[in-house]
Amino acid sequence: MKQHIKIGTRGSQLALYQAEFVKDLILKQFPMLDISTVVIKTSGDMIRRGSFDPFQTKRIFTREIEDALLQNEVDLAVHSAKDMAVDLPEGLEISSVTEREDARDCLISKEKAQISELPLGARIGTSSIRRKLQLLRWNSELNIEDVRGNVDTRIRKIEEGLYDAIVLAHAGVKRLGLGHTVSEIFPAETFYPSPCQGIIALESRKGDPELKEILQTLNHRESFIQLECERAFLKRLEGGCQLPCGITTRIQDGKIKLAGALFAIEERAWVEGIWEASVDHPKEAGIQLAEIILNQGGAEILQKIREAKK
């Protein structure tokens, strides 16, 4: 059995929380282990989010941590699964995931106003194209602006009057103990979350059976099924973490039921689809939903997005 495990993580407040959360889970099962955390700065921490390519799949938020894994500088990487590229580097794998937190997006606003109560031209901060397009689908009069910084910084910008509201992943807000600031939680069926939002993924080297045995004790089966389905959906759309698409999945009676959408950037257009399949074939289910969307006009939307990036 391993005696020491080094966890690689980004240095944001949320990333550090997630690394400590995983560390505590491991120690509950294996209290004799010595576990340390190694903070690694990634390309995504140094590049302006607004400059990202929707089709960028080159490990913007994970490259340096994965390189450290491959070079044996760390033993385990803890990621927000939605930030991971759909194709992992050769030699690495997602060994397990923890139980999924709420996958939905939420609104934080002045005086706890809901989205329908915000005034015309309200300034809403989000750096996500997916969120921006869905907000405008609800209300084309909203003024959507980029916002950066950690969760605390973004909330402070509301208090300073720079924004009327911001939209964030509910999972991250809850994990940081800031659930009391939430004004509204958006229904996943009408405001589609990012693929794998709310899932913490544990990535390790292949061929490390001792560590994999440890990590398997943490794996949450239903969340892993959702991860495989949603990553397959994104991969078939050939997208990165900034592609304006969303998906919601749930498991019921041995079936995985999914709904998703792809949004056009330059016009008020989108394509939605639904599908269900056996939980035994989650990847195939995600691919099938993507095929439905592509065949109903999604392929044209992707082509226009590609042309706009040239």
- Note the pLDDT tens digit of each residue in 123-135: 999 989 999 999 9
On whether the pTM is more than 0.85, the answer is yes
Which residue bears the tokens 């005086």? 111
> Which residue type, as a one-letter code, is found at position 117?
E
Catalytic residue among 83, 102, 105, 164: 83
Which residue bears the tokens 């989000």? 126
Give the residue extent of every domain in the chain: 4-101+195-309, 105-185
Average pLDDT estimate for 174-180: 95
Average pLDDT estimate for 55-64: 72
Contact indicator for 103, 198 with CB cutoff of 8 Å: yes
For residue 187, count CB atoms less than 10 angstroms from its CB and return exposed for 0-12, middle for 13-18, buried for 19 or more: exposed
pLDDT band for position 54 (cuts 50, 70, 90): low
Q: Which two tokens stand for residue 155?
A: 């909330």
Is the CATH code 1.10.10.60 the one for domain 4-101+195-309? no
Q: What is the DSSP letter of 43?
A: G
C-alpha span between 139 and 160 (Å, rounded): 24
Residue 37 has pLDDT above 70, yes or no: yes
How long a stretch of residues is the chain?
Answer: 310
Least Cα distance to 54 among 222, 304, 250, 259 occurs for: 304
| DSSP string across 189-255 | TTSPPPTTTT-EEEEEETT-HHHHHHHHTT--HHHHHHHHHHHHHHHHTT--TTSSEEEEEEEETTE
Residue 152 is a catalytic residue: no
Mean model confidence pLDDT for the chain = 92
* 4-101+195-309 and 105-185 share one fold: yes
Contacts of 190 by beta carbon, 8 Å cutoff, 6+ apart: none
Residues 188-203 as b or e (16 or more Cβ within 10 Å = b):
beebbbbbbbbbbbbb
Q: Which fold has domain 105-185?
A: D-Maltodextrin-Binding Protein; domain 2 (3.40.190)
- Edge-to-edge order in the sheet of strand 123-125: 143-145, 123-125, 165-169, 105-109, 184-185
pLDDT for the residue numbered 53: 60
pLDDT band for position 270 (cuts 50, 70, 90): very high
Measured over the CA atoms of residue 205, residue 210, residue 215 and residue 216, the dihedral's sign is positive
Least Cα distance to 145 among 159, 130, 127 occurs for: 127
Average pLDDT estimate for 130-159: 91
